[in-house]
Structure 1
């Protein structure tokens, strides 16, 4: 019989609805049951595209004997970390405190009946291996330990709660108003020290994309002329795009690389990676003009629209790593299978380009497609023109993509998450502006409409939906990532409704999330359920830190509307975290970007005049790498403009440029405008 998870909407929870485990979703009824029975809680956190979550489910949660132990000894709670990032953040932090090791998914935590964690880990096998105990044996041992050492565990719990309280507010008690650039230089130096000069990226395997760090470095190059910062970004993006982190046939980036060369990925594709990377690749093209970055931008945008956008407009959350129960099966190839699909002329190109003439790179038997030889070198070896090599590669890619489409595809997690849609809207709108792609802008606008129509009700934002209306209180990230997306949308094609929605979200943020006493923003609303920790995050993880993005987008919204309450809240946020940022800026690139824009406010450029006259100006400015400027194209007759944007109606193209409280006289020559912009880098 299905368990209680059968009534949930999360695809991840539904994956476990037929387990013999007596699963509960996270709810007050389950927590009250644990207290009433004085029984420990087994908390299992994962997500639908997680490979090792599937492994543990198959080995243990689908096993009747293991389930009997779980049901006898624990109240078992299953959480989708994408629906409940509040819970995931708390218990990931607790895992690190208890084990002194980084966490991940599946996260397996054991809680006393009051919800305090006393032991935990990630994946546990069904039988002992890799130095890990059998899961069923561990369950018996944990329950026995709690029975026999309850007083010791309660003392430990008090220490854990105190540590969680300290960790919740890294800037607590430290308010600064004298901001300086030293944290920006320090962060740049730390990223440079971690940079892998050979293969790109930061640190050793496993390697993650780190889009927020790359965005900071690009901003650093623009503001300071730091060529090394620029080169780190361009090299890293090129290595990822030509390596196995990028799907060479279907487009889109996988979650991370298992090796330091970006060759073999963990095969799930996450929306939260691809939205920011899409925007970054567009910026890389602005900076370098290299065709690679345009190609990767186009193929990522096409993948997002083709495979991740549902028919109602929202972007879905992820694609699974597994197909037919095997990680990567959908994506890897046999050499003979490729040869059979292509003519000899086509195969001659991909054989060299993707290194099929070398040893298999996936489990010693298969090929995961990566660029082994640049296409111009392939053309030289085959004595054909570069254009002919490109034509053959495109033809081969199309044929292999069609063949791959006949395989059993990975599962799609069709949850629509407000926060990840905000990230993707921002990336898609930025790319649409750079490459003048109305279809990309339309795709992003459909997502905005979906969030506004289904996740915004009665002045309250909701975090998620899956085939229905939004549910669960939205978090800090949902609000600020959507505001960022709306600001990008207004620069692509101004719509007064976007500005109204952005201000509504900002007002909800200030009313329901701000710590008015300490500055900054809590991750959860003031009326959210009480949990054992209420964090105010400053560090970036797979997505940017909500407080860093809040400080930046509120300031930007304040500059474009003239509303001081947004500027003041951004200032309070930076004041709260500046001390911690100055001590150690590592992992806080989003806050560093906010600080950079506090020290040098972004330009607000308003283009006015007849539509036909200002369209060329907009197009020209869009090809410039100008991360410290916002450009709003407002044809004569645009309604409902705030005072900061409501410039006089003019008969010819004219630009107004302001930085902070300083505005220059209007400019009627595009060359003169660009010279003004160049004076600030």
Structure 2
């Protein structure tokens, strides 16, 4: 019997579903495949488990690094598209959909175990139409089927494996499958054969069930206003979100779970805002303490690359020690903002140094000559140039012996006979037999290796070895430089050179906000270069649309996909946010103009006039079974969460009140979630305060080349207050801002000095001319 839709939708484990299908003898299939393979080998064709070089499938014509990784599999892969759909319908075959991304560790494992396996590939080729999707290139496809997998199994993740009817309706799915049956998990070969048997025997029931499942999922994902829903109270939403975060907070190591631990920058953004709105309360103090402590512990931990900068994806343990080693662009962009704001609030240069560390990594390792930013670096790499197998973390970890050989010099000026290696190993927790807990090393690839983690404070290490503080700092800096040079000789991890509009937007915000807060013009210039890159390579002047992705070409060129993929909602909201951030940092009004143009296009393509809020995708793609409105802030904030603040900022810069109304309608559409579990959308929870309190327009009248104007601007950049926008009234009445905001013409400098006004709803306070007066007004 096939499991009922009701059972599936109440999160029945797909593995149990497979068992219910009953046993199927596979010996006939194996014998047939063996004979076919032998014949192919005899004729000089395909054959052998390690002969993938003989194969080239349709993915060879794609640009995506992930799809190209599978272009030489013996699996007859298709990219997502009409050719594959027509084949499935024409031959009445099921579709096997495999979704992943190029720096995904378990995607690599499943490829090696199953997609390079001749026997499994033959089963796939003979009986299924196999489609491979890069989730970063096609987040729309990924979200539809991940919604199904999460609703019908014990979880989600990548690689995602889903079986579809010829009309693209899912009926069973999961994530990683081992090739053979194990004690706790059914093997991929068995899954394929059982599904094939059911398609042959119970096709009508399977099709009926898939339709019922799809209808239930479509209803479940229908986020929108139903009737006359009131806007949620910002006080109630903020208070509940704060308490939910506080309850999950790890008092010792920071973060909001035990393990695995993810950075979750959206939580930091919310807590900073909550602190600013409750500065004088114990709750406000706790919000700030939770954030600063977590950021500090992350920076000390192994999730932070102490040698080559930047942050890894997440920590597998509670202490932020052993990471999953891939590095993602979206993490770097958001964390650069978080650490810059931590410095802005606390004045502690430790946080400024970490922000600079992140931006150094991006500038050096994830930047294209054209100005764009690459997507990621892989977790896996070859331990040596002669290695045949990649290991996770091989590029980043150290043996004690390696460090001792690299840092053999004695430390001068201390009584004990100690080498630089002794000091370095003590400070970073290096052990002779390795410092990785075997429980966090399931494949035994980190045995005897060390993941660097700041084990002791500078003060404690200096006291332990009798060193002056500056002497210790110099020693550690020089030691890191030596290790960096040694690491540069190792084979580098795979670089995903795909450039995504959305993630480039997040990174532009990282450079722009950090540049403004830290006073680094080079960061602002780098943000502007990336924005020009988006304008030149990922935007169509004719249609006004963004493109989703492009790729590193030969030399300094940039390649576009053979079938251009238009931008999704997330591309628009992150780019619009970036352009607002870049305007505030650079004061170049052309970025405001483009942001407003994109906001109009976003409204046209994605707005739901019936249920309110934005769909994640355009309505034009008929291959998508339904349109989703994301309702969770994850590794990246959900697009609707960011859209609320973008709309309020756009309204503040243009006076277009319809955008304020739209912001309220989004909050109404998500009101149930905001009132019950705001912790899953903390960015939208934060935005409720901006809507109810209105954004403050900080207008500075003056010439940015003059010192008095620069003083007021520095005050704005160095003072943390949420829910505000900066407007420079430079007297150019022909410019974008004067054209849209008529009240600016009535504001002027007082006594010939640069002057600031704090305006709400286009009504302005009395003028101030000193930075201290402006700070007092901002903090009032």
Quickly name the TM-score band, shorter chain normalised: over 0.9
User: Is the aligned partner of 1:378 residue 2:454?
Assistant: no
Structure 1 residues 473 and 633 mapped into 2: Cα distance closer, same or farther (>3 Å)?
Answer: same
Partner of 2:185: 132
Partner of 2:335: 277
Partner of 2:229: 176
Partner of 2:256: 202
TM-score for both structures, normalised by structure 2: 0.85
Q: Secondary structure at the match of 2:548?
A: strand
The worse-fitting range, judged by mean Cα deviation, of 280-289 and 622-631 is: 622-631
Q: Is contact 1:614-1:635 (8 Å) kept?
A: no
Q: Deviations over 1:29-51 (max 9, x none)?
A: 21121112111110000000001
1:185 Cα deviation (Å)? 0.9
Match of 1:321 among 362, 379, 394: 379
Q: Secondary structure at the match of 1:143?
A: helix
Q: Is contact 1:174-1:579 (8 Å) kept?
A: no
Partner of 2:212: 159
User: Is the aligned partner of 1:224 residue 2:283?
Assistant: no
Aligned 1:250-649 pairs, distance under 5 A: 250-324=308-382, 325-342=390-407, 343-345=409-411, 346-357=420-431, 360-362=434-436, 363-457=446-540, 458=542, 459-466=544-551, 467-469=558-560, 471-610=564-703, 611-612=705-706, 613-637=708-732, 640-642=735-737, 643-644=740-741, 646-647=744-745, 648=747
Structure 1 residues 130 and 462 mapped into 2: Cα distance closer, same or farther (>3 Å)?
Answer: farther
Q: Is contact 2:95-2:166 (8 Å) kept?
A: yes
1:562 Cα deviation (Å)? 1.2
Q: Deviations over 1:621-640 (max 9, x none)?
A: 21222222222345454851
1:455 Cα deviation (Å)? 0.8
The worse-fitting range, judged by mean Cα deviation, of 1-10 and 656-665 is: 656-665
Q: Any gaps of 5 or more consecutive residues in structure 2?
A: 1-54, 383-389, 412-419, 437-445, 552-557
The worse-fitting range, judged by mean Cα deviation, of 176-185 and 371-380 is: 176-185
Q: Is contact 1:188-1:229 (8 Å) kept?
A: yes
Q: Secondary structure at the match of 1:516?
A: coil
1:368 Cα deviation (Å)? 0.8
Partner of 1:142: 195
1:69 Cα deviation (Å)? 0.6
C-alpha separation between the residues in 2 aligned to 1:198 and 1:55?
Answer: 34
C-alpha separation between the residues in 1 aligned to 2:162 and 2:510?
Answer: 35
Q: Is contact 1:496-1:639 (8 Å) kept?
A: no
Q: Is contact 2:712-2:756 (8 Å) kept?
A: no
C-alpha separation between the residues in 1 aligned to 2:689 and 2:661?
Answer: 16
Structure 1 residues 639 and 353 mapped into 2: Cα distance closer, same or farther (>3 Å)?
Answer: farther
Q: Secondary structure at the match of 2:680?
A: coil
Aligned 1:47-62 pairs, distance under 5 A: 47-62=101-116
C-alpha separation between the residues in 1 aligned to 2:183 and 2:759?
Answer: 61
The worse-fitting range, judged by mean Cα deviation, of 657-666 and 643-652 is: 643-652
Q: Is contact 2:462-2:472 (8 Å) kept?
A: yes
Q: Secondary structure at the match of 2:648?
A: helix
Q: Deviations over 1:364-416 (max 9, x none)?
A: 41001111111111111111111111111111111111110111001110111
Q: Deviations over 1:477-509 (max 9, x none)?
A: 000111111111011011121011101110001
The worse-fitting range, judged by mean Cα deviation, of 615-624 and 491-500 is: 615-624
Structure 1 residues 260 and 541 mapped into 2: Cα distance closer, same or farther (>3 Å)?
Answer: same
Q: Is contact 1:98-1:118 (8 Å) kept?
A: no
Partner of 1:245: 303
C-alpha separation between the residues in 2 aligned to 1:223 and 1:625?
Answer: 11
- Count of residue pairs the alignment pairs up: 678
Partner of 2:19: none
Q: Secondary structure at the match of 2:514?
A: helix
Q: Secondary structure at the match of 1:339?
A: helix
Q: Secondary structure at the match of 1:568?
A: helix
Structure 1 residues 529 and 542 mapped into 2: Cα distance closer, same or farther (>3 Å)?
Answer: farther
C-alpha separation between the residues in 2 aligned to 1:66 and 1:383?
Answer: 62
TM-score for both structures, normalised by structure 1: 0.97
User: Is the aligned partner of 1:674 residue 2:748?
Assistant: no
C-alpha separation between the residues in 2 aligned to 1:176 and 1:249?
Answer: 52
C-alpha separation between the residues in 2 aligned to 1:431 and 1:290?
Answer: 15
C-alpha separation between the residues in 2 aligned to 1:292 and 1:116?
Answer: 52
Q: Is contact 2:619-2:627 (8 Å) kept?
A: no
Q: Secondary structure at the match of 1:586?
A: helix
The worse-fitting range, judged by mean Cα deviation, of 215-224 and 648-657 is: 648-657
The worse-fitting range, judged by mean Cα deviation, of 575-584 and 42-51 is: 575-584
C-alpha separation between the residues in 1 aligned to 2:303 and 2:770?
Answer: 44
Q: Is contact 2:88-2:129 (8 Å) kept?
A: yes
Q: Is contact 1:254-1:269 (8 Å) kept?
A: yes
Q: Secondary structure at the match of 2:736?
A: coil
1:597 Cα deviation (Å)? 0.7
Q: Secondary structure at the match of 1:472?
A: coil
Q: Is contact 1:169-1:537 (8 Å) kept?
A: no
C-alpha separation between the residues in 2 aligned to 1:532 and 1:249?
Answer: 46
Partner of 2:23: none
Q: Deviations over 1:334-360 (max 9, x none)?
A: 111112112233323312110124752
1:525 Cα deviation (Å)? 1.4
C-alpha separation between the residues in 2 aligned to 1:167 and 1:555?
Answer: 29
